[in-house]
Structure 1
Amino acid sequence: MSQINPGSQPPNRLPQTIGFLLLDNFTLISLASAVEPLRMANQLSGKELYRWFTVTQSGEPVSASDGLQITPDASFESAPSLDSIIVCGGVDIQHSVTREHLHWLQTQARHGRQLGAVCTGSWALAKAGLLDGYDCSVHWECLAAMQEAFPRTSVTPRLFSIDRNRHTASGGTAPMDLMLQLIGARHGRELAAAISDMFMYERIRSEQDLQRVPLKHMLGTNQPKLLEIVALMEANLEELIDLDELACYVSVSRRQLERLFQKYLHCSPSRYYLKLRLIRARQLLKQTPMSIIEVASVCGFVSTPHFSKCYREFFGIPPRDERSGQQSAQVVALIPRPGEANRNPATVAALQRAQGESTFASVRI
């Protein structure tokens, strides 16, 4: 049965061996999002491109944040030779990192290992001094704390960051985007796209995609009127609400409304409203087949030229380039789209083979 050719191999030895360091209360979804693309890369390529192990300090079982206990493959002392280590963090990260963790990570860095982290695991790398001078991503709940605690680390709100030999991702499914980027760079974008299709992952997000940080987290609960105004804006992106009407809805004056936005969101209400509409437009351009005219209309723009002008000013590229760039990034669809039948028979054959296996879409931990 045909499989996907992983492309020309770099000089690195195969398989690449990855150790997942599990900290207390790590998030299971982030671990699975990082591991599963590796499993599928092996399955679709028909080769052992990756090998992975779970590691804890003592080798004793560790509990995930959902209460499930995982028995690791190895302790620090018994861990096999690794090419890279990914720290899996979760709840209460500041109290989950021990001196032994920091010492082991520093030792691995001295041996030239690639280092990464998912969810809040970046805290451990930064605490060990291993992210000084690097960009890194972390779950939005930990953003402010890391920026305050580690000023020499460039903490970004991006979904994931790849900075030289440091690979970090925020929580949830963002580790899957990170791993698909790394797999694509190492073994070809065709394989990464096929893995994405296997998991019904509609779009591989890029390093430029940002986390959606809830406004309530940024403002706390002290500004209920501002939160209510933003909620009204988000619910009315096609049929815009006049700013005077918004002010009236929450019983403030237009002047008070302006002051609230300037003080807490550092822009005017109209600018913030425009930003919400443009972000929505970008999602539609990337994730739907809607025409640019349709996207402009449902995002509250009265004309396509005005929409294109605003879009270019905000994102730096016109909508048509956003759309064409998104299409070119999707090199392969595992199931042929209309007009693409027979384009990649090897990919289709690999999907059919994989779906018949008992391990299809399972989690190997």
Structure 2
Amino acid sequence: MAGVASRDAHADWRVAMVIPLQGPAGLFGPSCEAIAELAARELNAEGGILGREVSFEVVDGGGEPARVAAELRDLVDTGRVDAVSGWHISSVRNAIAPVVAGRLPYVYTSLYEGGERRPGIFCTGETPRLQLAPALKWLRDNMGARRWFVVGDDYVWPHTSAAAVRRYAQQLDLRIVGEAFVRLGVGDATPLVRQVERSSCDGVLMLLVGQDAVEFNRRFAARGLHERLVRFSPLMEENMLLASGLGATRNLFVSAAYFRSMVNADAMDLLGRYVGLHGTSAPALNNAAESCYEGLRTLASLVRRAGTARLPELNAAIDGVAYHGPRGTVEFRGQQAEQYVHLAVADGYDFDVITRL
């Protein structure tokens, strides 16, 4: 297995932040980059990592997975980065995991399908067990949503999550009346909406990324379906609400570990620091961006606990790593972080947090 070119022990501690700058998830990118700058500044004010100043280099995670992996491989092979983190879809994670395996720590921050077991990959995002199952139960009990149609992009996260939902449906006495998947970034959501309209569903589970979800919301509302059907998504944030339009998000429920509108001291402090650094015209703070903040915080907490950035020691130290932040207490059980997940409903261009699941 290829090694990693050594970096000067006095150089900055540099993280490759893999975030989408193009494609359907590209609307998250500016927010992710802006909050990474805040996290790096805060870590440096605390003394950095291993006494080295923290910096980051953006890798565009919105392109073809193989191209993302090739760009990252060049950074790793030439010793220009010490770690990898960021929000990106699972197909990108699967492409870059072999590049960093056994070489550098990799904190994957996106919600995902769960089940990542490869050494050196530490996952801070939400998984279906905590994000989908409890929300479907709440929507059954409080909104009467029992017959669901699943729409998603055609790649690993939506397909694997849909398989989990089928299991949850049996446990919760729900019925999956249809499923439809489209190519990531396809643009035209009309065929999906037509399939939903023809079905007998009373709820739509959206496993769509970024602009794909925005287009679905617009077409859905144009057919008037937002007036009579519940929508539920584990991936919907403030930029997507804004792009969908005010009239297109009625009866839209979302589950996530973080919302900008959460009312607790840590979340409100983060928003204040973010606006203080970037101003009121900064890209909207959202779940995807905040996950990047979690990624850099996780790296710092893990390295501090292990006392080194060597990967074998980090792998040995990850279980039980815990810290407190905007999401509340985040604690690792093995390589997967566990955290509270909240259910919210879209309210204009923001979210009204209803309950903790």
When normalised by structure 1's length, the TM-score is 0.32
* Structure exhibiting the larger radius of gyration computed from Cα positions: 1
More strand by share: 2
